Structure 1
């Protein structure tokens, strides 16, 4: 395959796309080629197609020119999913393909272009009193539907409805040769994308693939009615094991729509970064969401009085959000959760955090940096409920092994905990370390927030130490049989999955992308 020069390829792409949809400047190539954690090779160019037809033609042109194609959503991931492995690569910025194409209230599905953010989709569906079962990540102001389906994601709706990919009915996908296919019932000519299952599940094939098998351009997702009544509760514990057991039992009983917890360190970080009850915008949002003047005043006064001291600093905390068709139903679920908590030596505290988050589900992404401007990155493990304590112990053993480096380089470590549907416990160690921010941080974090941060200069020694800790932790998780979302080019997959499974995937990859031009390096495809 003859590799075209950068100028030759850009000229060909300008003939297909508008001139302003092809970027070859260094600033764009650097910015769009890095994720929250990794800055490595820069792409040769970035394209921002405004139609799927143009994108399909552009993909064929790029792959025929010998370049690789890497699709990028909102840029909020941290596992090198869209960080190029090759300098001769073209980043596809999907942000212009962001339309909500159809809201079908009779057949209960919505079709969107994959560059649509979760926030835009949620706001659009609010007018219909509907939403998707999984309805976004915390970074949903930027994070896109396509990005979440490529990487998988959790948060809003996950405790009840599962992962992002579990709500999808159908996909439109562009292959490396520019051909377009549809999955689910939409694969049958002149048939609506109303069901996922029509023969083997090809929709699932193109999920969790980091766009290494195909580039998702449209997604059809199930709709459900927005619940009429919502509530929340927060519980504090002195020990991990009691908090984890409560989270697992609530998941088994299906009581919560969202469930997330913090260890004392991460809780303190969060309270330093967010003023919560003292933040007028957050307080106003909570009061506005309360539904009536009386409820608004009650909610606002309770948060204002609680301030930042509603949870003791040395405690673990877990937060549950529940939904139901009646106020009584909400109260029954909350009472059940609170009673389970008391049986496990938990203490019910003011539910400030879930109230603020519920009122502002897609806030700024300022939490992608620490309270003083530290760098931030997580690692996670998905385990069955019965393995939560084991996973925590294994994680703590790794940290003990690296205790000297952690202390020497002032690396802060916390835990984010969550549940997904009734079967999955999520353990996510989160790292903060003093180092300079990259271009993506400066682009995504609010300028006023950045100004308030002292910040740090480059600290390669701390970064190297952190890299070694993360690598050790991920190796431990791989050896323990834990699995992951957001595989990208970071987590082990080829090395740990059954050889027969990987051979089948390799054969499919070979058929769909014989020259490995779609995001080479992802899932071990080299």
Structure 2
């Protein structure tokens, strides 16, 4: 147990001793330098130090941690890689942070049943490369930060990026979960609820409790294992890129391509991103206003060529023109998730919004973005902030997830405060217009909760009360406690 620089209360000190008896000294820390390392994530939210950080290795250890926390009603906050841009650190005050990254085993790649079972601290990057060795993949590959993001963290947000046009969010991969409830009880969902059944089916045994623990920000339980469907890794891939004359034409092409239900990935780029990539060496994008990028994955070249021709015809009937696809080839293969910069071309840190809306509603979202950026134009100039309407992903064929960025120097006094103000106002505007935000966290989750219908809110609060009678697991998440 590391207590270097610790300023624990007597009560917290007793809890640390008990946690050490569960995990051993090596995996419990209340050292100030360690707590500082855990006091932030990639959001612009202020740092919050927890009381103690623990790193369990087994489901049983997670259960014992929660049982111990219940004795004194000590808050508990599970943590993956800390790559959520919406801010979870607010909930860490006086809390036990449970770092899940030691639980990173790929337990079983079952090729006969076409499932993979993993511990939820494993990264999507590790999972991708281990599956690929055997010729398999999950449908939706994880978020943009997949090389470092954990499976459990992504499942808590319905994360999306790679493969999401065809396969939806990462939650759509899941057939069964192992979850430690806030009381310390351990349950399995899906067909895993049958002790004698395999974990190959999510539905058919009664209510879908798997869904209760997906996209809830971790408020209902700590996910320790997940079983997901796998698919054969594509033997043939085709890349299609098009230039549109304006945003309406880009959305028309996006709609027609989505209707084919063929591509695994569909992305729309706005002018700034096209020019940034063009200046980085992808010359076919230089000077372009709007571009559409399409990935088609198939079992062989014959199928890939036929599908590409069909999608190409669908796109071109909207009048878009084909352009070179070198960027798409670089981004998707063979470098999975390696090209996803967290800084601007100048080295500034980025802060983001992700807002899901029906395809043609992006026209209104684009207007909202321009209104927001114009409102903060003077402050952006004063504090050297660079806001951009960047791109969107197609999700589940019928919606797009709009990605907006603000680049900022962290060492410019006052810059982060302006970013936070602008960031939160953006969330409020998008939700007020019916947008469904990607992440939760403190910034988005509380806003979402305030916009629920009252009956929906009270139903979730009743569920939370049953599962977490002492209110210890991420208190305040989604305003459920």
TM-score calculated relative to the size of structure 1:
0.85
Look up the SS of the partner of 2:287 in the other structure: coil
- 1:248/1:425 contact within 8 Å kept: no
Correspondence list, 1:383-398, <5 A: 383-398=357-372
* Other-structure match for 2:467: 512
> Structure 2 vs 1, CA of residues 174 and 158 (structure 1 numbering), >3 Å: closer, same or farther?
same
More deviation in 159-168 or 475-484?
475-484
The CA distance in 1 between the partners of 2:315 and 2:194, in whole Å, is 50
- 1:138/1:362 contact within 8 Å kept: no
Correspondence list, 1:200-279, <5 A: 200-270=207-277
1:495 counterpart (436, 440, 450): 450
> Structure 2 vs 1, CA of residues 209 and 486 (structure 1 numbering), >3 Å: closer, same or farther?
same
* Other-structure match for 1:317: 291
Structure 1 stretches of 5 or more lacking a match?
Answer: 276-306, 437-457
Look up the SS of the partner of 1:88 in the other structure: coil
The CA distance in 1 between the partners of 2:30 and 2:292, in whole Å, is 46
> Structure 2 vs 1, CA of residues 351 and 331 (structure 1 numbering), >3 Å: closer, same or farther?
same
The CA distance in 1 between the partners of 2:124 and 2:431, in whole Å, is 31
**How far did residue 363 of structure 1 move?**
4.2
Show CA shifts across 1:229-269 (max 9, x none).
11112222342222222122211221210122322223444
Look up the SS of the partner of 2:118 in the other structure: strand
The CA distance in 2 between the partners of 1:16 and 1:353, in whole Å, is 50
- 1:261/1:317 contact within 8 Å kept: yes
1:362 counterpart (333, 336, 357): 336
Structure 2 stretches of 5 or more lacking a match?
Answer: 1-8
> Structure 2 vs 1, CA of residues 22 and 177 (structure 1 numbering), >3 Å: closer, same or farther?
same
C-alpha RMSD over aligned residues:
1.9
The CA distance in 1 between the partners of 2:334 and 2:25, in whole Å, is 37
Correspondence list, 1:399-438, <5 A: 399-414=373-388, 415-433=390-408, 435-436=409-410
Show CA shifts across 1:306-347 (max 9, x none).
x43221234222221101223132223333343444433423
Look up the SS of the partner of 1:353 in the other structure: helix
* Other-structure match for 1:177: 183
* Other-structure match for 2:82: 75
* Other-structure match for 2:5: none
* Other-structure match for 1:347: 321
Correspondence list, 1:1-400, <5 A: 5-37=11-43, 38-80=45-87, 82-197=88-203, 198-270=205-277, 307-364=281-338, 367-400=341-374
**How far did residue 150 of structure 1 move?**
0.5
TM-score calculated relative to the size of structure 2:
0.92
Look up the SS of the partner of 2:393 in the other structure: strand
- 2:90/2:442 contact within 8 Å kept: no
- 1:172/1:183 contact within 8 Å kept: yes
- 2:237/2:304 contact within 8 Å kept: yes
Show CA shifts across 1:28-61 (max 9, x none).
2122231101232111111111111112111211
The CA distance in 2 between the partners of 1:24 and 1:316, in whole Å, is 51
Correspondence list, 1:427-506, <5 A: 427-433=402-408, 435-436=409-410, 458-491=411-444, 492-506=447-461
- 2:242/2:323 contact within 8 Å kept: yes
The number of equivalent residue pairs is 468
The CA distance in 1 between the partners of 2:303 and 2:167, in whole Å, is 18
